[in-house]
């Protein structure tokens, strides 16, 4: 839901781009390689154009990495066919384009235009799974039993054709009306089963609303959206595929995992202690994920609890291995081993991890260009993760500061979603983080703040130059 429009001339995000050192064009040789790759006919591949795949993404997206088709298996259970854009067919190892993608690492999303990992001739053209055109893909076929337990995995390079480009809110409306397109008619049913399996494993899904900046005529609007159920169901298909990829790699003793330590027992104890004061019921034997899944994050006290639960999910990393399996291969949020393989148009690591999976499945040696890349990928992905996060955060902070610049001194109603640890340094003020209802701003606030309660706050700083917004309790 749109909360408020930023009533200002178009915001200049150029300073943020320069601050982060984001490139504004591709080197000529890299662009030439991309254009030539886009013009080449598809290689000889298994023909799977009869599979009625569809994509499911935000409405304005054109860099479409995934397409799916869900069916029932004879005798019970499900078959997931998940096509992933085969970027490796377009990017030559050792070429200028590959080198440039290593410099970028991943697509960076900004309100005034993305900084893509690949030139648009590929990322929004020849490599994207756009509807009604044939594309090269890596096709995962994952068979599940009636309880959504994986019972078989098949992997191949294939030629595919998406039937339609769908978006989350349109699909959610179709689901609510009982008219989902056949290729994804089973998505609510299967997504719910996969979510339930994850919660039983100990997975933690945080229903955090997404704060974003969107163009609106000559200005911008700041929006806050919670995920719709179909978006969560779609994420479960990606997680299912990532877990299948991790299992392949671990069995083959080579690969690249997305890892995260599990929640520490003492941290879970602290979260449990915070539940009762925030009015959150924590039944005996319930996991963190099961407790969070019952909450409505639109309620201030529930939002504060979810914010506290997010502290359990720290330390995400990429872990490469070759010959010796990592001592701790799991991902604490997924509660299983997991790998990134479903977004190669937008994330560098997925291209190489997918190539490892193909080689292992086909029982052939991993290509040297992929094997030698593995130990270098964690540093590149960690660095570019920081850049992408800084860009997203900086864009929102700038929009917040512009929106509030002429309202310093005004008071607002807000929910307290986080508080500082007790003050120990002389002269340091207590404080925490508050979330305003309208406009949807989340910022630092000084003063004694009751966690999970509503308070009145006064705006003391809104500086677009420094992108700083700050409040004090009124």
pLDDT at residue 2 is higher than 70: no
Q: Which residues of 355-390 are buried (b: 16+ CB within 10 A; e: fewer)?
A: bbbbbbbeeeebbeebbebbeebbebbeebbebbee
Over residues 399-444, the pLDDT tens digits come to 899 889 999 999 999 999 999 887 666 767 899 999 988 888 999 9
What average pLDDT does the chain have? 93
Percent of the chain past pLDDT 90, that is, above it, reads 81
Maximum alpha-carbon separation in the chain: 71
CATH of 406-473, one of 3.10.110.10, 2.40.50.140, 2.60.40.1180, 2.40.50.100: 2.40.50.140
Which of 47-61, 100-114, 170-184, 412-426 comes out lowest in average pLDDT?
Answer: 412-426
Lowest mean per-residue pLDDT among 4-8, 235-239, 250-254, 460-464: 4-8
pLDDT of 3 reads 39
Q: What ranges do the domains of the chain cover?
A: 2-260+316-384, 265-310, 406-473
What pLDDT digit, counting tens, does each position of 387-397 carry? Answer: 999 999 999 99
Tell me the per-residue pLDDT of 277-315, one tens digit each, with 9 for 90 and over. 889 999 999 999 999 999 988 788 888 889 889 989 999
Cα(463)–Cα(474) distance, integer angstroms: 20
**DSSP conformation letters of 273-321:** HHHGGGT----TT--HHHHHHT--TTSHHHHHHHHHHGGGS---EEEEE
Band of pLDDT at residue 6, cut at 50, 70 and 90 = very low
Residue 163 near residue 52 (C-beta atoms within 8 A): yes
Category of 194 on φ-ψ map: left (φ > 0), alpha (ψ -120 to 50) or beta: alpha
If pLDDT is split at 50, 70 and 90, which confidence band does 10 have? low
Q: Look at strands 219-225 and 210-216 and give their pairing.
A: antiparallel
pLDDT digits (tens, 9 = 90+) for 110-128: 988 999 999 999 999 999 9
Q: In the predicted model, what is the mean pLDDT of residues 178-203?
A: 96
Residue 302 confidence (pLDDT): 87
Query: What is the H or E stretch that residue 164 is in?
Result: strand 150-167
Q: pLDDT digits over 18-42, tens only?
A: 999 999 999 999 999 999 999 999 9
Q: pLDDT at position 209, please?
A: 76
As a whole number of Å, the CA-based R_g of the chain is: 23
**Contact criterion met (CB below 8 Å) for 441 and 404:** yes
- Is the pTM higher than 0.85? The answer reads yes
How confident is the model over 309-368, as pLDDT tens digits?
Answer: 998 999 999 999 999 999 999 999 999 999 999 999 999 999 999 999 999 999 999 999
Q: What is the mean pLDDT of residues 54-83?
A: 96
Range with lowest mean pLDDT among 155-169, 228-242, 274-288, 293-307: 293-307
Res 1 pLDDT > 80: no
Report whether pLDDT(198) > 70: yes
pLDDT of amino acid 304 = 86
Q: Which residues contact 132 (CB under 8 A, 6 or more apart)?
A: 161, 162, 163
Least confidently predicted of 129-138, 161-170, 204-213, 432-441: 204-213
pLDDT single digits (tens) 78-114: 999 999 999 999 999 999 999 999 999 999 999 889 9
pLDDT at 145 exceeding the cut of 60? yes
CB 166 within 8 A of CB 55: yes
């Amino acid at each position: 839901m749109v909360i408020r429009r930023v009533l200002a001339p178009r915001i200049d995000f150029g300073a943020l781009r320069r601050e982060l050192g984001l490139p504004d064009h591709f080197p000529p040789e890299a662009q030439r390689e991309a254009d030539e790759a886009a013009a080449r006919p598809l290689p000889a591949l298994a023909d799977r154009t009869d599979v009625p795949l569809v994509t499911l993404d935000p409405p304005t997206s054109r860099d479409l990495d995934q397409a799916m088709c869900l069916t029932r298996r004879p005798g019970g259970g499900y078959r997931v066919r998940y096509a992933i854009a085969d970027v490796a067919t377009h990017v030559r190892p050792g070429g200028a384009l590959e080198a440039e993608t290593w410099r970028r690492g991943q697509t960076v999303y900004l309100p005034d235009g993305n900084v893509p990992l690949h030139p648009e001739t590929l990322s929004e053209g020849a490599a994207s799974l756009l509807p009604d055109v044939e594309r090269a893909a890596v096709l995962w076929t994952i068979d599940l039993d009636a309880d959504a337990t994986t019972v078989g995995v098949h992997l191949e390079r294939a030629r595919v054709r998406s039937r339609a480009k769908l978006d989350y809110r349109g699909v959610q409306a179709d689901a609510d009306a009982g008219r989902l397109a056949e290729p994804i008619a089973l998505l609510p049913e299967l997504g719910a089963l996969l979510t339930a399996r994850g919660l039983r494993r100990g997975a933690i899904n945080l229903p955090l609303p997404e704060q974003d900046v969107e163009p609106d005529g000559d200005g911008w609007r700041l929006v806050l959206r919670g995920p719709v159920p179909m978006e969560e169901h779609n994420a479960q298909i990606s997680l299912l595929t990532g877990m299948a990829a991790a299992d392949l790699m671990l069995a083959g003793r080579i690969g690249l995992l997305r890892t995260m330590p599990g929640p520490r027992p003492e941290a879970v104890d602290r979260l449990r202690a915070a539940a009762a004061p925030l009015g959150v019921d924590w039944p005996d034997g319930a996991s963190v994920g099961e407790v969070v899944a019952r909450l409505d994050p639109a309620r201030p006290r529930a939002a504060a609890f979810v914010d506290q639960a997010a502290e359990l999910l720290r330390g995400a990393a990429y872990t490469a291995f070759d010959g010796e399996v990592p001592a701790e291969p799991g991902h604490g949020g997924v509660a299983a081993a997991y790998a990134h393989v479903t977004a190669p148009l937008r994330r560098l690591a997925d291209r190489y991890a997918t190539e490892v999976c193909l080689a292992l499945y086909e029982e052939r040696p991993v290509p040297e260009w992929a094997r030698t890349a593995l130990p270098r990928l964690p540093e590149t992905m960690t660095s570019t993760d920081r850049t992408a996060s800084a860009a997203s955060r900086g864009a929102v902070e700038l929009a917040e500061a512009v929106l509030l610049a002429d309202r310093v001194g005004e008071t607002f109603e807000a929910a307290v979603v986080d508080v500082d640890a007790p003050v120990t340094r002389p002269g340091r003020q207590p404080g925490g983080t508050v979330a305003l209802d309208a406009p949807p701003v989340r910022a630092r606030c000084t003063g004694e703040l009751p966690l999970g309660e509503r308070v009145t706050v006064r705006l003391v700083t809104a500086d677009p130059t420094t992108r700083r917004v700050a409040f004090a309790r009124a």
